Structure 1
Amino acid sequence: MITRTPSIDQQSRLKAAAENAFDCLRPTIFHEDWWLDTATRGRVDFVEVEDGGRTVGRLPYMVSSRYGLSSSNMPTLTHFLGPGINDGGGSEANRYVKRNSITQELIRKLPPLSSFRQKMHRGICDALPFQAQGYNVEVQFTFEIQPYPDLMIWKGMRDKTRNVIRRASENFKVHESVDPEAYFHLATAHLQKKNMQANVDFDICKDLAIKAMERGRGHVWVAREYNSGDIKAAIFCVWDSNTYYYLMSTRAPDAGNGVVPLLIWNAIQSATSMGYVFDFDGISNAGSILLFSGFGGKTAPRYIVTKSSMPYRVLRQIRRMDPTAYNAFG
């Protein structure tokens, strides 16, 4: 038998196909192994589906266990997860059927859990496979800004948003920080001034920021006051192959309301220069609706899938009635 070495062109196509398959299985920065390993402190696990000896589906998850009940929730600062699927070629109808089948098989491979909750990434257009497996589905909306020219985005903003950015730019200079740890020192100081504590593990967040910036996948934008030279606000953003995510922000109590919009505008310009969609990363309250909508983005759904056992729901309800009881159930 004669063994032929693939031509350079064939090798390029094979390499491109392999890279595409890798990207499909890790569709966001939050799915990448280094991120998950850091965010979970090495406690991430995966279920996978194979077809013909190659992996076509992958779903990461992390399990915590307390009081005899196991649960899987979103790891620290990991804002989106859900299945990564390589649905191959063919018509869209056939690919949809394949995605549905792979997703349901991934769900069936999950270990028995008292509670499961994940927010799906932007590539998940519906959550029907989860519904078919008995999961509840909720929707959280986010705003997205497409990588249009800066002037087009600027003109699409609300007048009020443009005005607060203009005023803030008169008082603050924005630049990129090369020290991710400084962001968390600043955020801690701002929280202390407000007599508040962080609701997320800053040590893990700091490690994620350091690793993202080491890989050229993160930005810390800071706003320094012209008069005093003090840094009054900062935001932390990361990106993958097509999306730029606004993850965290901190602002001094005396900084004024316009400084964060100014930082966001700089981040949007960075995203569009890279050709990436800017994702505001979820709308959590009325204040964020007012702030984010001012930039002229379009709303987009993010599906949240949940499933919990009766004992877990009962204990969760007990905790709601008595916050001092069963601290494991948040």
Structure 2
Amino acid sequence: MITNKEKYRDLCSQELSIPIFSQAWWLDSTAGDCWDVVLLEKGGEILASLPYVTKKRYGFKLLTQPVLTQNLGPWLRPNAVKNSKKLALEKDLIQELYAKLPKHDFYNQNWHYDRTNWLPLYWLDYQQTTKYTYIIPDISNIDKVVSDFEHSKRKNIKKSEKIVKIVFDISPEEFYENHKMTLKKQGQTISYSFEVFYKLYKNGYANNSAKTIAAYDELGNLHAALFVVWDKNSAYNLISTIDPDFRVYGAASLLIRDVIIYVSRFVNKFDFEGSMIEPVERSFRQFGAVQIPYFSIKKTPSRMLRVLQGVHELKVGW
């Protein structure tokens, strides 16, 4: 018997509208065997899907999304029906998808920004928090893209062009170790393992969907590097590593420009993978990117876990 995951792999190979973070190879890389998928089918055709990752915490079963994954959530087959029928169809499909999820204590996923109707889950007592990403919606005209950068970013580019050399395809080992080192300089620890990053790197390159780009000075110092991924619709600035000792030389801005030039041959959009952290948000905005909202959806079916969450919030409030 063909499993849902096998059917989903075939779906991902055929459907261009499925974002990279919901692709089967991405979930294999970031979640291993801990992911599965709910499918709705009619007449041998998959109408909707909902991949999820299962985690265990203190005896509670959590349905969520893996590390380095901007969004997950439901995919609905595109159709051309009238708006009133479309909304009715979305309601039925989304509610049926979520009804088929395995029993769990907690659910939390970020939806792709194209999925704008969460009302069907509001009626099922889910909660929603609005978050933001920043996107350059059209990168086909590079001169126009760069002209929309704020003056400070263009100034950084001119400065860094005289200091650093741009190199593509640095190794996963060098990228990861540099990110770990630069975070340590800032008193932070890396949030993902080398094993996960290596799988993403290897599978991303194998699917022609990933690239590393880095800036070195003449002494061999690595100023900054990016790991960028893309699907058929958009590129995503997945990981940035910037050495604080060399930040003033502006190499990160040069990397953004050059990687946009590179991915413009494949896609029309560039997604900065927005942040709710104020300095990061300001930097993304200065590249002329447009603010786009997306939904973080959650629900806690477990009464015991709801009580524990309430106690934790009370302690934080105190």
Same fold (TM > 0.5): yes
Q: 2:292 aligns with which of 275, 289, 300?
A: 300
TM-score by length of 2: 0.88
Aligned alpha-carbon RMSD (Å) = 2.3
- Alignment equivalent of 1:52, drawn from 35, 43, 47: 43
Tell me the alpha carbon deviations over residues 118-156 of structure 1, each in whole angstroms, 9 at most, x when there is no partner: 001132123112212211011111111022401111111
Task: Note if 1:182 corresponds to 2:182.
Answer: no
Q: Which residue of 2 aligns with 1:68?
A: 59
Instruction: Compute the displacement of 1:37 (Å).
Output: 1.6
Mapping of 1:88-107 within 5 angstroms? 88-107=79-98
Is the 1:237–1:246 Cα contact (8 Å) retained in structure 2?
yes
Amino acid at match of 1:42: D
Write the distance in 2 (CA, Å) between the matches of 1:215 and 1:221. Answer: 17
Unmatched segments (≥5 aa) in structure 1: 1-17, 324-330
Distance change in 2, residues 1:159/1:137 (3 Å) = same
SS at match of 1:118: strand
- For residue 29 of structure 1, the aligned residue among 9, 20, 24 is 20
Cα contact 2:238–2:273 (8 A) shared by 1:
yes
Aligned to 1:215: 207
Q: Per-residue CA shift, 1:95-139, capped at 9, x if unaligned?
A: 332222111110111122211110011321231122122110111
Provide TM-score, normalisation by structure 1: 0.85
1:244: which partner in 2? 235
Q: Tell me if the contact between 1:63 and 1:72 (Cα under 8 Å) persists in the aligned partners.
A: yes
Partner secondary structure for residue 220 of structure 2: coil
Q: Percent identity?
A: 26
More divergent stretch after superposition (141-150 vs 240-249): 141-150
Structure 2 residue runs of 5 or longer lacking an equivalent are 1-9
**Cα distance 1:92–1:280, how it changes in 2: closer, same or farther (>3 A)?**
same
Q: Which residue number corresponds to residue 152 of structure 2?
A: 160
Match of 1:312 in 2: 305
Report the equivalent of 2:104.
113
1:157–1:296 Cα contact (<8 Å) kept: yes
Structure 1 counterpart of 2:274: 282
CA distance in 2 between counterparts of 1:275 and 1:198 reads 29
**Which of 80, 85, 98 is the aligned partner of 2:76?**
85
Question: What is the distance in 2 between the residues matched to 1:20 and 1:60?
Answer: 12
The structural deviation recorded for 1:209 is 1.6
Instruction: State the SS of the aligned residue for 2:70.
Output: coil
Q: Secondary structure at the match of 1:256?
A: helix
- The AA in structure 1 aligned to 2:275 is I
Shift of 1:322: 8.1
Q: Give secondary structure in 2 for the equivalent of 1:238.
A: strand
Residue matched to 1:142: 133
User: Based on CA coordinates, which of the two structures has the bigger radius of gyration?
Assistant: 1
Q: Structure 1 residues 215 and 271, CA, compared in 2 at 3 Å: closer, same or farther?
A: same
Counterpart residue number, 1:256? 247
SS in 2 for 1:166: helix
Moved over 6 A (4+): 18-21, 320-323
2:89 and 2:285 map into 1 onto residues whose CA distance is 36
